[in-house]
Structure 1
Amino acid sequence: MGDNRFTFAVQRLPAGPSYAESFQDQQSNRSNSRIGGQIKRIGPDIIEDLLRGKKNPVQCLNEYCSMTKKTIVYTETGSGYRYANYATIDDVQFPQGTGRSKKEAKIAGARRAFAALLDLDEEAFDTKFAGMSDVKIDRHGHKIVENGSNNPEHLYTAANVEELTHKLNLLATDHEILKSKGVAHALQRVNTERALSRASTINNSYPVVNNNNNNNNNELPIPIYGRESVLSGRPPSSMNQYLTSTPISSFGGTSGLTTQIENPITNLQEYCKANMLPIDIKTEVCEPDPKNPDQRKLYRSCVILDNDETKISDVYAYTAIDARRRASQRALEALMKKQPSHIITSKPMVALTEYEEISNTVADFIKHNRANDHSDMFDTIHNRFYAAFVVKRTQRDVGRVVAFGMGSRCPEPENVSEMGESLLDCHALSLARRAFIQYLYGELINYANGSAIRSILETSEKDSTKTQLKNHVSIHLLISGAPTGDGREFLPADCDGPMAPYDLVQMRAAGHAPIYEHPEHGHLRYKLSVGMETIDADPLQRFAIMSCSDKILKWNVLGVQGALLSNLIEPIKLASITFLSGFKQSHTSRAVCCRLEKATDPVRVHHPMIGRVKYPLVQPQEFDSDYSYVWSTSFQGEIIDARCGRPVTGGTSLISKVVLLSEYRHVCQRLKVQSVTSDTSYYNLKQTAKEYQQKKRAMIIYLEQKKFGYWSFEKKHLEQFRWQSTIPPIQRNITM
């Protein structure tokens, strides 16, 4: 948390006739100035600067608080994959805004504060919404604005500016009105009126147009927003749609405080979230009519279903923002009425299975990063192999991506460092799992700080010195294709075709039925340096890297947390594994868990749910492998030169073993458990997890006895490094 404070003395004038008369005086066009410590009226310049984009919202809000002698505090926080910031004015907290940087989040927070103060939709004074920006709403209701050419034409009249200026003056002198605009009052109102508001929004917000006609067709009359309709008369001012219907005379009354602001885009956003429906709102400038050169410029906006490019609505207006709002309103009317001409029924609009839901969550993460990441890694993701860890906090939760990796090769042996500074495996699955471990360290820090609600961990029921995953939290893995090794080598050619009825039944019933039709079915395999090819793990190779199928097998016995974290966390098992392609139930189940189904104590294999999405991902002939990518909620994305196992920017990767050792020492200090000294090697610390090591040895012995091959030797010479004071714990992202 960080605070940026702009503090000014608080002094208010009583609201009275003299103040009202002073406000009506129009001789001065500039904002109030402090004379002799007195507050004078707010002029129109703050509103004009805000609406026309001459100053950003932070500058305008600071200026307003300075001139009205109010205290304003900006507080940094976090939200999902973005930075967040909210403003507090005279101890009244306002909604937070998010952005790709701290500066952008602060501006967004100030914009949302103005939106609450003036009873406006924040789009009313965000100039990017006035131009040719397109709006995307994903399956979870997240709204992304893709900036286009910015040509602000807000059509704000003097009356609009005067009305909003009046509101600012009332807010400057009446703290109760100011308090009513804050988050606390809004939450209280929502809790007391939620049922009534929801019923009103669903049933009454979108009346059927022209319902007096006798047309029995459910189709909405398209011409109401057509080009001819707009040209026949001027549409309502865009500002009038942002303002509440409450007259200015009742601004300080109860009705003015509870009136909901109708915003079709926001309502459409809520509908998309409820129905997991992705849409695009596209806007363009219409070509002028050569026969009528004096005709006003027209804007055209349409709403399109993102999953099949079906156009739901298509409208015209005199401003881009008017067109977007009208298109959103018409689209919502069409969706809620479920008109056959607008709704595609050939594909499901909601996730039908656990695997579709996880796939949708990761797809939204990729779409977000493709739009916001400055590298080209996500632009070329169709040529890359990737994996992601998703955390669900409840059964109904759609999940959140907490770790992500891309890659398909291992570094050259001569580039591997014995000091734990380089990565041994730059395949997507290994990178994502390391990023997930960094996420777990962040959760341990939350737990150590007493943030029981925020953390997914709680005190272990078996050992009070450890933590465990909360009962309602589950961990899910997604892989873009079949993992290297046994899960990939023997897949039939039709594995990405329509699923057979037997496979569908097995997948839905979470059943596993492995087959062993080939002598090498179930064998351990070693990775080659480049690509997805592997070789049989017989004979034994000391320095080989185990295949991804074998690593998943190990996680289903020992947990994904690894040896070091086993000293602090009970084993964490995967609830499900989702494959975007390369899935065959009989082969995949054998590779990831069922090879050990007959093993006895202490080897107890966990059988996660495994399945594939309905429409598999098309795999490239060859993967881009020279560069890998890793991301976690704990740090910004990192591009790895997979040929040497180090970041392309130089230095040490944030998921390297030497950095993870520093994280482990830091967390142990916070939890006040075993200390890590400079005399203890990384290898010796791993050996202190005795139960973990005992199960691992038993698993290796069982695999050898069943002639499944040999697990590669412990690479002791690569783990003899010790904690270094020159490598501090990472600076973590602020997350919620």
Structure 2
Amino acid sequence: MGEGTTVMAGAQGPSFASLYGDRDPVSVLMEYGQTREVTVEFTEFSRSGPDHASCFHTAAIVDGVQHVDGVGSSKKVAKKEAAEKALKTIYDKGRKRLKEANFEMNNTFEDQTDLSHAHKIKLLTRGVLELAEETQLVYYTKDKIAAAIVLEMHHGRFVAVGLGTGNRCILHQHMRDDGGRIIHSHAEIIAKRAFIRYLYKQLERYEDRRGHHLFERNPVTGKLKIRDDVKLHLYISRPPCGDASAFPTIGNGPTRMKAIRKQGQLRTIIEDGEGAIPTDSYIPAGESGSERLRIMTCSDKICRWNALGLQGALLSHFMDPLYLSSVIIGSYSGDQREHIPRAIFGRLTTGDLRQDLQPPYRVNTPEISYPDADLHDNYNINKSRQYYVTWTFGDAGVEVIDGMTGAMVGGSISAKESRLSKQAFFASFRSLCRKFNRPDMLKTSYKEAKLLSEDYQASKTTLYQHFQTCGYGPWYSVENNYSVDSFS
């Protein structure tokens, strides 16, 4: 896979101890067995040494595999050490397998020539996700929404480069103005942010005088662009929230007409979980009189990606927009399948947006694929937990985030900024400014750096005007309403 197989320098995962903190390792190991439906037991205690200084021995047996003995001055201490050693072995094994997960999955495809691209991407994401979760021991859950950005390389192999799970948003009281918290923790958004992290790492390696597996110089714009023989795919285990999911059935008669009139509306998620509300709707304060956070839905954000690209404002200083070739939906219910195209790009094809967007920006219409019935993802999101998993290709291990606080799990949340946070991305952006000789950008705040990407900002203004002109409603900006981008 060429340069793409290189592990990123400095991409370390969380420490083993942070995965369960101060919790009793025996309890953690038992929970591990319950969530993964494997047996966990301990061997009978044996005793060695003289009576006045004897040692007890036991070992954990997980799914029939006996691990290294734990030794201690009491049965309790020996059992605790045995659990710790078993957890460490499981963790290290998971990290090693995760490093090779993409390659192992691609090797299985070589004998399955009848599989479509969509099925390969689906199976690849499933396999990598399962291995990623082996590297974190406490926050695993079967009931989750998962998403991934997958590269299809020029030699026909697939690489999951950004992975995320989750369906929560930060609570208003945990918002901070230093860029250290993750605000929107839905799987699609997390996968995209993990992909952005991958782009930063690859841009750090780019050299004009050498070829690169992902980028090449655009002679027209002078910026980098993705190679013509590389494709981007988005996998989601279920339709994105918002316009794609708001109409599972639209009924008959007046009910049907009312639903049709509301199709296409831009919507916001409400932190209290009251569904996706049109952006022009008034939302009263909560019962305590506190403000309620509103965040644009995933349907709307994916729709924006299909006009502005996945790279965002900061990376637009260095590269042309990156567009999806396809979107793969793992499962759906009712008539959601007919709403997804409208939600994620159909709203861009009405009106004059195609003519109004200036190159290299354009209206992108990715292919949408659905798996066969036996490949459906049946995740029960009502039982999902507030913790989500994220991983970027090349990272030694996954990161676990509390979606309600927006902070990395492990230790004090006030000191745990995610590697996907705005703060982390701004640090990477400043590093690129030094690399690509842009010292003028080093004196800006995060918000100023975004605004100085003039072609991106002009295209965004054109897009938002299009939404208003077509009657889809205003775009609701978190930054404009909560001032979270002014850090430097």
| Length-normalised TM-score, structure 2 | 0.69
Query: Which residue does the alignment assign to 2:472?
Result: 708
CA contact (8 A) 1:387 1:429 kept: yes
1:399 to 158, 161, 170: 158
Segments of structure 1 that go 5 or more residues without pairing to the other structure are 1-76, 85-99, 102-145, 152-268, 278-348, 494-514, 723-736
> What is the CA–CA distance in structure 2 between the aligned matches of 1:272 and 1:525, rounded to whole Å?
38
Decide whether aligned partners of structure 1 residues 580 and 275 sit closer, same or farther in structure 2, where only a CA change above 3 A counts.
closer
Question: Deviations along 1:278-312, whole A, 9 cap, x unmatched?
Answer: xxxxxxxxxxxxxxxxxxxxxxxxxxxxxxxxxxx
Whether 1:431 aligns to 2:190 is yes
Decide whether aligned partners of structure 1 residues 366 and 707 sit closer, same or farther in structure 2, where only a CA change above 3 A counts.
same
Decide whether aligned partners of structure 1 residues 469 and 535 sit closer, same or farther in structure 2, where only a CA change above 3 A counts.
same
The residue matched to 2:262 in structure 1 has which SS? coil
The residue matched to 1:659 in structure 2 has which SS? helix
CA contact (8 A) 2:132 2:398 kept: no
Query: Which runs of structure 2 are paired with 1:440-451 in the superposition (5 Å)?
Result: 440-448=199-207
2:399 to 609, 630, 638: 638
CA contact (8 A) 2:242 2:298 kept: yes
2:277 to 535, 541, 566: 535
CA contact (8 A) 1:409 1:626 kept: yes
Amino acid in structure 2 at the alignment position of 1:533: G
Question: Deviations along 1:424-472, whole A, 9 cap, x unmatched?
Answer: 111111111111111001111121485524x4011122222x1000110
Decide whether aligned partners of structure 1 residues 452 and 674 sit closer, same or farther in structure 2, where only a CA change above 3 A counts.
farther
Amino acid in structure 1 at the alignment position of 2:135: D
Query: Which residue does the alignment assign to 2:338?
Result: 586
CA contact (8 A) 2:215 2:225 kept: yes
Query: Which residue does the alignment assign to 1:660?
Result: 425
> What is the CA–CA distance in structure 2 between the aligned matches of 1:577 and 1:715, rounded to whole Å?
28
Query: Which residue does the alignment assign to 1:459?
Result: 217
The residue matched to 1:701 in structure 2 has which SS? helix
Question: Deviations along 1:205-242, whole A, 9 cap, x unmatched?
Answer: xxxxxxxxxxxxxxxxxxxxxxxxxxxxxxxxxxxxxx
Query: Which residue does the alignment assign to 1:573?
Result: 323
Query: Which residue does the alignment assign to 2:356?
Result: 602
| Length-normalised TM-score, structure 1 | 0.47
Amino acid in structure 2 at the alignment position of 1:576: S
> What is the CA–CA distance in structure 2 between the aligned matches of 1:416 and 1:700, rounded to whole Å?
25
CA contact (8 A) 1:386 1:407 kept: yes
> What is the CA–CA distance in structure 1 between the aligned matches of 2:238 and 2:220, rounded to whole Å?
37
2:487 to 718, 721, 733: 721
Query: Which residue does the alignment assign to 2:130?
Result: 367
Q: CA RMSD in A?
A: 3.3
Query: Which residue does the alignment assign to 2:260?
Result: 518
Amino acid in structure 2 at the alignment position of 1:427: H
> What is the CA–CA distance in structure 1 between the aligned matches of 2:180 and 2:196, rounded to whole Å?
17
Deviation at 1:392, TM superposition (A): 1.3
Deviation at 1:529, TM superposition (A): 1.6
Query: Which residue does the alignment assign to 2:83?
Result: none
1:545 to 295, 301, 306: 295
2:458 to 681, 691, 694: 694
Amino acid in structure 1 at the alignment position of 2:484: L
Bigger mean CA deviation after superposition, 515-524 or 407-416: 515-524
Question: Deviations along 1:75-127, whole A, 9 cap, x unmatched?
Answer: xx99959799xxxxxxxxxxxxxxx99xxxxxxxxxxxxxxxxxxxxxxxxxx
Amino acid in structure 2 at the alignment position of 1:698: T
Deviation at 1:675, TM superposition (A): 3.9
The residue matched to 1:383 in structure 2 has which SS? coil
> What is the CA–CA distance in structure 1 between the aligned matches of 2:368 and 2:478, rounded to whole Å?
30
CA contact (8 A) 2:136 2:398 kept: no
Deviation at 1:626, TM superposition (A): 1.4
Decide whether aligned partners of structure 1 residues 351 and 438 sit closer, same or farther in structure 2, where only a CA change above 3 A counts.
farther
1:481 to 238, 247, 253: 238
Decide whether aligned partners of structure 1 residues 449 and 653 sit closer, same or farther in structure 2, where only a CA change above 3 A counts.
farther
Decide whether aligned partners of structure 1 residues 589 and 272 sit closer, same or farther in structure 2, where only a CA change above 3 A counts.
closer
Identify which of structures 1 and 2 has the higher relative contact order when contacts are C-alpha pairs closer than 8 Å and 6+ apart. 2
Decide whether aligned partners of structure 1 residues 445 and 150 sit closer, same or farther in structure 2, where only a CA change above 3 A counts.
same
- Length, aligned pairs only: 372
Deviation at 1:659, TM superposition (A): 1.1
The residue matched to 1:436 in structure 2 has which SS? helix
Amino acid in structure 2 at the alignment position of 1:444: L
CA contact (8 A) 2:8 2:394 kept: no
> What is the CA–CA distance in structure 1 between the aligned matches of 2:347 and 2:3, rounded to whole Å?
43
CA contact (8 A) 1:446 1:452 kept: no
Query: Which runs of structure 2 are paired with 1:5-16 in the superposition (5 Å)?
Result: none
Structure number with larger C-alpha Rg: 1
Decide whether aligned partners of structure 1 residues 451 and 532 sit closer, same or farther in structure 2, where only a CA change above 3 A counts.
farther
Query: Which residue does the alignment assign to 1:469?
Result: 226
* Identity in percent: 26
> What is the CA–CA distance in structure 2 between the aligned matches of 1:462 and 1:581, rounded to whole Å?
41
Deviation at 1:148, TM superposition (A): 3.6
> What is the CA–CA distance in structure 1 between the aligned matches of 2:318 and 2:106, rounded to whole Å?
40
Query: Which residue does the alignment assign to 1:554?
Result: 304
